[in-house]
Amino acid sequence: MKFQCNRQKLNKAVENLQRVTASKTTIPALEGILLRAEKNKLTLCGYDLDIGITTSIDANIKTEGSVVVPAKLFSDIIKRMPEDIISVETDEKLIIYISGGKAEYKIIGMSAEEYPELPAVASSEKISIDGKTLKSMIRQTMYAVSDKDENPTQKGSLFEIANGTFRIVSVDGYRLAVRTEKTDFDGEKSIIVPRKSLQEIINLISDDVENVTVRAGGRHLTMLIGDYTIITRLIEGEFMNYKATIPSAFSTEAVINTRMFSDTIERMSLLLTDRIKTPIKCCFENNTVTTSCNTSKGEATDEFEANITGSYVEIGLDNKYILDALKFAETDEVKIKMNGSLKPIVILPSDGDNFIFLVMPVRLRNG
């Protein structure tokens, strides 16, 4: 195999693929990136048996062929080569020669035959989603994906399509995040996408990606994102009945400035540490939100104005959970709905309902 290509394009592709190469595996080839040179294209693949990414870049192919290169070493070399055009060549012993300007490297590769094939997704149905919209939907819900092992189905986000509506749902037992958009797809789909794959999807959707094409099979999902194709194993199992956790009626409603609420929670959080888990007390009454925190480090109080209707509520909130919800609301104002001190609070945009965030309260000591 022998080819020449642009260093910046190769470097970008290798950096994106290196993230999904395996670090500890019984298949050494998966610690590398598969290079395949043919028909004036260099195709690259990174894979760890759960998620794989492939892409192609233009190249001047002198001799067609394939090889597996050690991912980190190859990435470090390409990143530091002094010239914009680099040459890569392999011999019959799988020695890889890399040169650019006066810099030359000789490293050991592996046979492409040792590299596992990516699974195929048998689905004729294609779903097209606006790239920026999909990125926003994942960003606004991924924070609520569980990092615990008790329930595997909560370690990813539910992609649910039905009746012309596309929802992404995440839950970890203490909070829930739902993001909704309309879709032209008239079928029904329900799959669970792992957290790592969600992060890679976000990483690959750049500003110039207009549409993402999705194909979902029984066990795997593929997405065409610009010049990249990502394939991921899906999480098997039944996602929780999240709709049953969202109350249909509320006794108290508050329209709140998102920044004001975030700032006051952060001020209360100065008295908290990883060891001190005291909840922050929030009181909603007379168009005023009063917050307070009492720990072994000291006491703090604060308040700000809000538009509040309904019954008085005194509720304890975990500072991290409420800050996450406010951060990913990404709106100037939010609507908070409540049913007393022991029921979950529901956070919505002040106008509309394209996202729903639910946060469980923490019982106050005097409650």
User: Phi/psi class of residue 155: alpha, beta or left (left: φ > 0; alpha: ψ in -120 to 50)?
Assistant: alpha
Phi, psi torsion values for 193, nearest 5 degrees: -100, 125
Contact between 196 and 129 under an 8 Å Cβ cutoff? The reply is no
The residue type at 182? K
Residue 331: both structure tokens together: 């709106």
One digit per residue, pLDDT tens: the chain, 367 residues?
999 999 999 999 999 999 999 988 889 999 999 999 999 999 999 999 999 999 999 999 999 999 999 999 999 999 999 999 999 999 999 999 999 999 999 999 999 999 999 998 877 788 999 999 999 999 999 999 998 878 999 999 999 999 999 999 999 989 999 999 999 998 899 999 999 999 999 999 999 899 999 999 889 999 999 999 999 999 999 999 999 999 999 999 999 999 999 999 999 999 998 887 899 999 999 999 999 999 999 999 999 999 999 999 999 999 999 999 999 999 999 999 999 999 999 999 999 889 999 999 999 986 4
